[in-house]
Amino acid sequence: MLHPDWLERAWREFDVSEIRGSRHNPRILEMFKDVGHPGIVRDEVAWCAAFLGACLERTGRRSTRSLMARSYVNWGEGLEIPRIGAIAVLSRGRDPALGHVGFVVGETEDHLFLLGGNQSQRVSVDAFAKSRLIGLRWPPSNPQASNDHGKPPDAVPVVMRPVATAAADPPTVDGDERRAVANEESEIFDRALGHVLQMEGGYSDDPHDPGGPTNKGITLAVYARWVGEVVGDRTRARLISRLKRIPDVLVREIYWTRYWKPAGCRQMPPAVAMMHFDAAVNHGVTGAARLLQRALGVDVDGEIGPETRGALAKSDHLELLVRYAELRRERYRELRHFWRFGRGWLRRVDATLAQSSALISLRAGSPEITSAGHVEDNDDRENGNGDMAMKQTSETTVPDAKWWGQSMTIWGVLVTALATVLPAIGPLIGIDVTGEMVRQIGQQAVEIAQAIGGLVGTLLAIYGRIRATAPIERRLVSLKL
Q: pLDDT by residue (tens digit) across 371-421?
A: 333 333 322 223 333 334 344 433 333 344 445 555 555 555 555 555 555
pLDDT at 376: 32
Q: Is residue 172 part of a domain?
A: no
Query: Residues 312, 351: contact at Cβ < 8 Å?
Result: no
The total number of structural domains in the chain stands at 3
Query: Residues 268, 372: contact at Cβ < 8 Å?
Result: no
Quote the CA–CA distance of 102 and 88 in Å, as a whole number. Answer: 6
What is the rounded average pLDDT of the residues 53-62? 93
- Which of 40-44, 132-136, 426-430 is modeled with the greatest confidence? 132-136
Q: At 99, phi and psi to the nearest 5?
A: -175, -175
Does residue 263 share a domain with residue 157? no
Query: Residues 29, 41: contact at Cβ < 8 Å?
Result: yes
Does residue 195 share a domain with residue 158? no
Task: State the CATH number of the domain containing residue 229.
Answer: 1.20.141.10
pLDDT at 63: 93
pLDDT score of 466 more than 70:
no
What is the rounded average pLDDT of the residues 11-21? 86
Residues 24-44 have pLDDT tens digits of 899 999 999 999 999 998 888
pLDDT at 114: 92
Does residue 143 share a domain with residue 63? yes
Does residue 25 share a domain with residue 75? yes
**Distances, alpha carbon 296 to alpha carbons 52, 270, 312, 314, in Å:** 46, 17, 7, 10
pLDDT at 419: 55
Q: Is residue 445 part of a domain?
A: yes
Does residue 189 share a domain with residue 160? no
Q: Is residue 109 part of a domain?
A: yes
Total length of the chain: 481
pLDDT tier for residue 340 given thresholds of 50, 70 and 90:
confident
Could you tell me the sign of the dihedral formed by the alpha carbons of 42, 48, 53, 59, in that order? Answer: positive
Closest CA to 393 of 161, 189, 196, 242: 196
What is the rounded average pLDDT of the residues 246-252? 84
Does residue 339 share a domain with residue 194? yes
Quote the CA–CA distance of 372 and 204 in Å, as a whole number. Answer: 28
Q: Is residue 282 part of a domain?
A: yes
Q: Is residue 89 part of a domain?
A: yes
Per DSSP, the three-state class of 452 is helix
Does residue 108 share a domain with residue 75? yes
Question: Which of 124 and 180 is assigned the larger pLDDT?
Answer: 124
Q: Is residue 380 part of a domain?
A: no
pLDDT score of 319 more than 50:
yes
Give the Cβ contact number of residue 161 at 10 Å: 14
Asked which of 108, 131, 164 is the last residue of a domain, the reply is: 164
Closest CA to 117 of 69, 51, 65: 51
pLDDT at 459: 67
pLDDT at 405: 53
pLDDT at 366: 42
Quote the CA–CA distance of 276 and 287 in Å, as a whole number. Answer: 10
Question: H or E element: which one contains 473?
Answer: strand 472-473
Question: H or E element: which one contains 359?
Answer: helix 338-364
pLDDT score of 141 more than 90:
no
Mean pLDDT of the chain: 74
Q: Output the DSSP codes for 271-310.
A: HHHHHHHHHHHHH-HHHHHHHHHHHHTS---S---HHHHH
Residue 204 is given by DSSP the state: B
Give the Cβ contact number of residue 96 at 10 Å: 10
User: What is the pTM assigned to this prediction?
Assistant: 0.50
pLDDT at 228: 73
Which amino acid, 408?
M
Q: Is residue 478 part of a domain?
A: no
pLDDT at 389: 39
Q: Provide the residue range defining the domain that includes 12.
A: 5-164
Asked which of 338, 364, 390 is the last residue of a domain, the reply is: 364
Quote the CA–CA distance of 75 and 138 in Å, as a whole number. Answer: 8
Query: Residues 61, 142: contact at Cβ < 8 Å?
Result: yes
pLDDT tier for residue 328 given thresholds of 50, 70 and 90:
very high
pLDDT at 388: 41
pLDDT at 148: 40
Residues 341-374 have pLDDT tens digits of 778 888 888 888 888 888 875 554 444 444 333 3
Instruction: Give percent of the chain with pLDDT exceeding 70.
Output: 64
Quote the CA–CA distance of 385 and 274 in Å, as a whole number. Answer: 20
What is the rounded average pLDDT of the residues 291-314? 91
Quote the CA–CA distance of 32 and 11 in Å, as a whole number. Answer: 18
According to the 3-state scheme, what is the secondary structure of 111-133? EEEEEECCCCCECEEEEEEHHHE
Does residue 146 share a domain with residue 224? no
pLDDT tier for residue 135 given thresholds of 50, 70 and 90:
very high
Quote the CA–CA distance of 439 and 452 in Å, as a whole number. Answer: 20
Q: Is residue 374 part of a domain?
A: no
Query: Residues 294, 300: contact at Cβ < 8 Å?
Result: yes
Task: State the CATH number of the domain containing residue 18.
Answer: 3.90.1720.10
Residues 165-200 have pLDDT tens digits of 333 333 344 455 555 555 566 778 888 898 889 888
- CA 193 from chain center: how many Å? 6
Does residue 135 share a domain with residue 232? no
Strand partners, 472: 402
Asked which of 364, 392, 420 is the last residue of a domain, the reply is: 364
Does residue 225 share a domain with residue 190? yes
Does residue 351 share a domain with residue 203? yes
Does residue 308 share a domain with residue 266? yes
93 contacts: CB under 8 Å, gap ≥ 6: none
Q: Which of 77-81, 203-207, 469-473 has the lowest mean pLDDT?
A: 469-473
pLDDT at 324: 93
Instruction: Give percent of the chain with pLDDT exceeding 90.
Output: 23
